[in-house]
Structure 1
């Protein structure tokens, strides 16, 4: 039997344990915001708050990123997440290290049934997707958060008890130097799918576990393969089961093989067995080495409410979906971006506590939608009944010849920014605004994310306002968390060059109209020839002021 080589193990960074100042103190210190868990969601939130000038304490029981063994874990970062990274200041590192892609092919047996290009209707400065091992993203977020200097990032700090209070949360923490207790105005649980905080509080996540089984092989090839996402619905080299093939950073390919439901997970992960699968797929002449091999089975859960008093749940602690379409990790990052500006405004006294209720009102429906979409993908890839098998065979047979059937081939609907439902604070509903490249009046380039990176203010993009309109609104804007920017016109506001793509993207804005964009790059409303009173009313609505 052929033997297979492993690449040298990744050397993950580690950060030292520093004894917290509360150790040995008789008094209990109160912090405004405490985040538990330094995964993608928790780190994004900490970095987001620091970017907005808000301090937080971040507790993590480990002293490194990723997992021991350096598996790839999450790899596909969607455009909305990349735009968030641009605002936080790590996008360039992610883009330089990762693999940018937009083109994918789907096969049935040996036949390509269709292909797609996700970049066709994008106006963002960021691509549809970049593939990068999760530990690199966490690594970059840690370093950026430390660079910003406002986050007390405490490694080897394990939360052992959480007690809700009427006006906050009491937290008991175990460290290598002993235990200590702190309090928080707000506690954010970002501890992941197996949240001990959720378990301790007895909050039902309504979990379900699939019988579907997969095996991941992270592989480096001597000869490069095409930089495309390839998916097989029923791969002939995997006994008619599904396969995914993605390129990540460092020239490493992530290949996911669907396995029999009753497989022995230890057996399918042995190098000789995983290597034989690769040989079946690629032939005897392809040289490769393994980076990591491991099994997984997907599951899902969803909390009834993402807010429980002064405790808020983000990322996998709040919701878990099947991995199809990269809707898990991206959703957690977007949870953090949704919550970050709201926490910041509340902590700064610029908004009331009711604004935090809008986090659940927006992100839970997003999780419901992601759960619905991924569940459909799971049923297509692992049919449970004869009727589902028949339907899939018919769809695949028709897809190579008919466009309507291609839309039904469901190997994972790729992650997109979720729309938010209409609500009192968001009367028109919320739609994500892409990070358009723009230019100041003097020709200096900028982007929407650069305009939004300034603290916790909403952005009012006003198309060709008159000088009188701008002067009348200036005093009102100065008393609100609002930055007014003119797009064309002759006002004294900070001005952008007229931009037709921006006007179309915001909902066909016309001269005189003002688009209110929230700090998380969601459109709040489009006002036609606004007055100071209507601008003030729109901003107060976006902040959930009654």
Structure 2
């Protein structure tokens, strides 16, 4: 059933079904996920592909948020690669708008900085793709239902949580009443106002920012290039910033920076918004206002993304100003980091201490994103005369100097974080793009095809060097060569260069396509180090 939302978008409505738990003693599940947003649904889809049973609890019966369903729109290459692995990228690509060119402007049309992210890309996915957030969530729900590994329970609101050392207990409210269930691992993905986090009494140190913006989703016929434009100072917005992005369904997202002391109800009134849009597009250009809503920047950050057997992902763990599309992409990449680790632990192939590296890796990623987003806020809204003088000097120099151009790129977008300081990484940590591969037998493959389970990938030109680990189920051995039918061809050595492989060396890739290690030699010492890093559990294979 499709419901017409008051915001002007059409959202699906999913059927609530009474859980079987009402008729049983308290049931324990391997994983319980709270929250059906980007982070929760990505994790559920990830666990589905790895054969890990779960229950996802969502208090609503749809995707998006009623009255605010547009929300996030920009999905970075790393997130798109994750969606390719999960089996929904083609749907996203057909519906959304791919782009790579971004421009920063002052005045009416004075370009002071421009980039094309496609020039340096090796991935099968575009640098960026714009699509309304609810479509991503919708496609994830469909994929989860298709795989039938876990269960989504709609209209199920968590009203109490008890976190023990060995499991968690969760009390759930439904249209049929309340019940309790237990989780070996509880993952809180229920967002900014997390009830789970509140029940556990965990502090996030929130700060409310001074930024005020008005989001405007517009449909019009005027031909514009499929690029992201950022006016650092726009004359049609009283010298304040304006962002312009293409989206799915022929809709454009236009964000107007407002005065700090703006009345949010007034600035988001349709008639007030329409007048701003007329100034930008031209008074004779017809358009349709699809959706409008205000936002204000704020931040918070948990000290640790793991508490006993509760893990926190997405906005439950971290919130930063929504500049650079860092919120949704960070939640997606939280799930990507967590899914394979949970799978290895629950399959008995790794000790549960492996999950300590989740917070160790994703919290620094959140801090990095927060720093970049906050820097953009300071540039767009200088606090004090000193910051304003510096901002104006940077704008003046941007046409001539590379360093100033980098500083004026206020919409520096989300990229994959390098886990180089993690206990898991051995002098590595960077993300490898989703490379196009061809096998000796003629098959066309993608690197993500080898990351659909929870195996650690060992890649080398030498079959002999990997011989000691070929019978261990936790590892997937890939050979760059021309001897066996499933060898990866690499005539021009582009694959080896992208992986950082030299003659006789080995690269070890995690299931999230981050480099765990590179070794020039691979003997007993290196194998022992690898086993220690991944918290490997020795058992009969």
Common fold: TM-score over 0.5: yes
Taking structure 1 as reference, are residues 98 and 539 closer, same or farther at Cα in structure 2, changes over 3 Å only? farther
Partner residue, 1:59: 57
User: Is 2:396 the partner of 1:397?
Assistant: yes
Cα gap change, 1:366 to 1:545, in 2 (>3 Å): farther
Answer whether contact 2:39 2:332 (CA < 8 A) is retained.
Answer: yes
The residue that corresponds to 1:479 in the other structure is: 472
Distance 1:521 1:488 in 2: 21
Kindly state the Cα deviation for residue 342 of structure 1 after the two structures are TM-superposed. Answer: 0.4
- 1:355-504 equivalences in 2 (<5 Å): 355-453=354-452, 455-463=453-461, 465-466=462-463, 468-469=464-465, 472-473=467-468, 476-488=469-481, 490=483, 494-498=486-490, 500-504=493-497
Instruction: State the number of aligned residues.
Output: 532
Q: Could you say what secondary structure the match of 2:254 adopts?
A: strand
Listed as ranges, the matches of 1:254-293 within 5 Å are: 254-293=253-292
User: Taking structure 1 as reference, are residues 543 and 429 closer, same or farther at Cα in structure 2, changes over 3 Å only?
Assistant: farther
Change (3 A) 1:493 1:222: closer
SS at match of 1:277: helix
Single out whichever of 85-94 and 410-419 deviates more from structure 2.
Answer: 410-419
Q: Map Cα deviations across residues 202-256 of structure 1 (whole Å, 9 max, x no partner).
A: 1110100112100011000023322110000110000000000001000100000
Give the 3 Å change call, closer, same or farther, for CA 164–42 of structure 1 in structure 2.
same
**Other-structure match for 2:163:** 164
Map of 2:517 onto structure 1: 525
* Cα contact 2:350–2:534 (8 A) shared by 1: no
Within 2, Cα distance between the matches of 1:513 and 1:196?
A: 49
**Structure 1, 164-173 or 73-82: larger mean CA deviation:** 164-173
Q: For 1:296, what is the secondary structure of its paired residue?
A: strand
Q: Distance in 1 between matches of 2:215 and 2:179?
A: 40
Sort the Cα spacing of 1:286 and 1:191 in 2 relative to 1 into closer, same or farther, 3 A. Answer: same
Deviation at 1:545, TM superposition (A): 6.7
Contact 1:7 1:290 (8 Å CA) reproduced: no
The answer as to whether partners of 1:381 and 1:410 remain within 8 angstroms in 2 is no
- Matched residue SS, 1:286: coil
Q: Relative to structure 1, is the Cα distance of residues 370 and 8 closer, same or farther in structure 2, using a 3 angstrom cutoff? A: closer
Deviations 1:58-81 (A, max 9, x none): 000001000113531000000000
Match of residue 3 from structure 1: none
2:521 maps to 1:514 = no
- Other structure's SS at 2:408 match: coil
The CA distance in 1 between the partners of 2:178 and 2:279, in whole Å, is 54
Shift, 1:520, TM fit: 0.7
SS of 1:478's partner is coil
* CA distance in 1: counterparts of 2:536 and 2:356, whole angstroms: 9
1:328 and 2:327 aligned: yes
State the alpha-carbon separation in 1 of the partners of residues 329 and 378 from structure 2: 22
Partners of 1:49 and 1:409 in 2: how far apart? Answer: 40
Does the 8 Å CA contact 1:477/1:536 hold for their aligned counterparts?
no
Q: For the residues of structure 2 that align with 1:255 and 1:350, how far apart are their CA atoms?
A: 48
Task: Give how far 1:145 is off.
Answer: 0.7
**For the residues of structure 2 that align with 1:386 and 1:545, how far apart are their CA atoms?**
59
Which of residues 84, 94, 97 is equivalent to 2:95?
A: 97
Contact 1:484 1:494 in 2 (8 A): no
Cα displacement string for residues 73-92 of structure 1 (whole angstroms, at most 9, x for unaligned residues): 00000000000000000000
Structure 2 unaligned blocks of 5 or more: none
* Cα distance in 2, alignment partners of residues 477 and 300 from structure 1: 46
Encode CA deviations 1:508-537: one digit per residue, 9 max, x unaligned: x11221111001111111122423663464
- CA 59–125 in structure 1, closer or farther in 2 if over 3 Å, else same: same
- Would the alpha carbon gap of residues 165 and 55 (structure 1) be closer, same or farther in structure 2, given more than 3 Å must change? same
Question: How far did 1:538 drift?
Answer: 1.8
Secondary structure of the equivalent of 2:120? coil
Distance in 1, matches of 2:422 and 2:324, equals: 28
Q: Is the 8 A contact 2:426 2:518 kept in 1?
A: no
| Shift in Å, 1:16 | 0.7
Closer, same or farther: CA 545–422 of 1 in aligned 2, 3 Å: farther
The Cα of 1:271 is off from its aligned counterpart by 1.5
- Give CA deviations for 1:23-71 in whole Å, capped at 9, x if unaligned: 143x211111000000000000000001011111100000100011353
RMSD: 1.8
CA shift, 1:408, in A, is: 1.7
Query: How far has the Cα of 1:156 moved from its partner?
Result: 0.6
C-alpha distance in structure 1 between counterparts of 2:240 and 2:490, whole Å: 52
Paired residue secondary structure (1:139): helix
TM-score of the two chains, using structure 2 as the length reference: 0.95
> Please, which runs of 5 or more residues in structure 1 have no aligned partner?
1-5
Shift of 1:282: 1.6
Shift of 1:479: 2.2
Cα distance in 1, alignment partners of residues 288 and 57 from structure 2: 36
**CA displacement at 1:424 relative to structure 2:** 3.5
**SS of the residue 1:216 aligns to:** strand
- Residue 483 of structure 1 aligns to a residue in which SS? strand
